[in-house]
Structure formats: C-alpha cells, structure tokens
Amino acid sequence: THFGYQQVDVHEKQAKVAEVFHSVAAKYDLMNDLMSMGIHRLWKRFTLEKSGVRKGQRVLDIAGGTGDLTMAFSRRVGPDGQVILADINASMLQVGRDRLTDKGYVGNVEYVQANAEVLPFPEAHFDCVSIAFGLRNVTDKDRALGEMARVLKPGGRLLVLEFSKPNNPLLSKAYDTYSFTALPFMGRLVTQDADSYRYLAESIRMHPDQETLKQMMQDAGLDQVQYYNMTGGIVALHKGIKF
C-alpha cells in the first residue's frame, strides 16, 4: 500500500507516524480498549511483573504516550524513585501529562519530548527502560535499541512490548483479517480516521518477528534476552539485561 514504509523515504515515515499520533491522541485510550478488547491491560500488567522495578529506582518509559506503564512504574518506584515518560509526539505527551496529573501522579514523574533514536540522557542512568507498542513506529530500530542499551545501568533491564507473529497459522489469518478490516472500521467510527488505523495494521505486519527482535537486542548489547508470547504470539514481551 502507499503506507508500505520500507519503500518510502525515512522522513516520510517519520512524518506519517507524527500525523497518525497527532490525529489519534485524544481518542487513543478508548481505541486501545476497543481494539484489544481490553486485553492490552493484561499485556501491560505482565510487563510490569517482569520489570523487577523496585522502590527508589529510575525508569525510562520510551514512546510512553498516554502513560499506562508510566503510571504503574510511578507507583512502584515510590516518592524516592523517578519515572521519565518520553515521547516524540507533542500531542501524545500533552494527553499523557494531563491524564497523569489529573490522576494525581505528581512528584516522581517527568515528561520529555524525545526521539527513541537519540535519547537525551547520560549513559548508565536507568535501572529499567521500557518501550510498549512504540518500537514498530521507530524508523531506525537498531539505533534506538543501541540508545536504550546505552542509557541503562549495568544489570538494568530493557523491556520491549510489541505486536509480534502469531504462532498458529489459523490465528494468524484471523488476526490479519481483523487488523485490516475491523481496525480501520473502528478507527473511522471513533476518530473519523480510518487511514491512521490502516497504517497501524500495516506497521504491525512489517514488524520483526520474535527471533529477529531477540537477535537485534543481542546485537545492541543486551544479555540473557528472552521473550514471552502472549495471546498466541499476537503480542510478545522481550526482556534483556545490560551487561
């Protein structure tokens, strides 16, 4: 399709991603619940369990958007810890900041507009770095993973939660049909924007599968990389340790 970003210019992809998230920011949480039938909450809860984050630690939530993970991390690290929600998109960042502030998450959360490919933080700074449903939107994924490894302290954990490859061909077919028909349909209904959701479906299909992402994380300097399939591999959590 015309959003098949492997053929398009890098800047074109970045511009498309910006347009998509400006367009969906206000309705993002509602769409997340609708599209995943609420299951994204379980995927995120599992991610949190695997994070090993404790009181007083410093966490970076990249592509944090409206802040689901940031909120949970903020509770975990407590008043002596710190969570930074970073996102490239000003509209998403605004919605996230308003939402968290309204819910009373103040004091240990900060907001930074940043591209995952060029993180404005010193090396060995964080105990945990997360990126949930964000990596597939990043143009240079290897560079971004390298940056994530750089800002992690030795022994720190990187968590990548992302759509992946369903491990059963039947599920894979059903899921493909769902992504390319129901998603744009719901997108149009709720946000008057079917194109953005068509882009999302396309970006999911193009994303590296479980083993490829594992290798990419190893190449970026992460150790003990393992992944957990969820919902039949529709989503996978990859975890790696900085050595």
Q: Which residues bind ligand SAM (CB under 6 A)?
A: 17, 21, 32, 62-66, 68, 87-89, 92, 115-117, 132-134, 137-138
Please, what is the minimum distance in Å from the beta carbon of residue 144 to ligand SAM? Answer: 7
Contacts of 68 (CB under 8 A, 6+ apart): 40, 41, 44, 132
Give the C-alpha separation, 134 to 176, whole Å: 20
- 46 versus 56: smaller Cβ distance to ligand SAM: 46
Per DSSP, the three-state class of 123 is coil
Please, what is the minimum distance in Å from the beta carbon of residue 189 to ligand SAM? Answer: 19
- 56 versus 195: smaller Cβ distance to ligand SAM: 195
For 196-220, b/e burial (b = at least 16 CB within 10 A) is bbbbbbbbbeebbebeebbebbeeb
Please, what is the minimum distance in Å from the beta carbon of residue 138 to ligand SAM? Answer: 4
Task: Supply the DSSP symbol for 79.
Answer: T
- 136 versus 242: smaller Cβ distance to ligand SAM: 136
CB-based closest residue to ligand SAM: 65
Per DSSP, the three-state class of 74 is helix
Please, what is the minimum distance in Å from the beta carbon of residue 51 to ligand SAM? Answer: 14
- 68 versus 202: smaller Cβ distance to ligand SAM: 68
